[in-house]
Amino acid sequence: MNTDMKLKSILVFLLLFCFTFSVAAQNRQRQGGGRFDIQAFNQKKAEYLKKELNLTDAEAKAFLPLEAEFSMKKYEANREARRETRELKRKKDKTDADYKRIVQLNLESEQRDSQLQIEYYKKFAKVLSAEKLEKYRSVDIRFKEDELKRHRERFNSGGDSD
């Protein structure tokens, strides 16, 4: 009986230790590790695109690196405009010039996006059929909407606020 009690005590201790370790790891992830992980996002997007577009291995090998490059260039091209727009929107007493600048920044971003889209869709057309290329537009939008929805749900439920 004494041995059984020792084993039960050890087992309870180990379970408590594992539980505590798990909770601590989750808290660390929420505090520092909950930041946006671009690599994980890109990997998830690549898997989603491959599935939804029904890409062959050859198509995926040719298309997905191009698509990741396209996404990164769009992100980089508009980074400064997003930063400046965010600052202007946070400003308490915005002037007419501030509003004009926000509009200008948004239009310039859209123009850069359109130029990159034209450039990359020409590249995409070399590796995807016209049908898959057309489908890519809606699949890409749906992926972004789904991810935004998941992010908002996590944020609103008190989870990660990355």
Q: Are 80 and 8 within one domain?
A: no
Assigned domain for 73 exists: yes
Q: Are 23 and 58 within one domain?
A: no
Residue 49 CA to residue 121 CA, distance in Å, equals 15
Distances in Å between the Cα of 117 and the Cα atoms of 5, 67, 84, 96 are 68, 10, 23, 32
Assigned domain for 161 exists: no
- For the entire predicted model, the pTM comes to 0.68
Q: Are 140 and 68 within one domain?
A: yes
Assigned domain for 83 exists: yes
* Domain ranges, residue 81: 42-156
Residue 122 CA to residue 162 CA, distance in Å, equals 34
Residue 77 CA to residue 114 CA, distance in Å, equals 11
**pLDDT tens for the chain, residues 1 to 162:** 566 666 556 545 555 544 544 444 454 444 445 566 878 888 999 999 999 999 999 999 999 999 999 999 998 888 888 899 999 889 899 899 989 998 999 999 999 999 999 999 999 999 999 999 999 999 999 999 998 898 888 878 765 544
For the chain, how many structural domains are there in total? 2
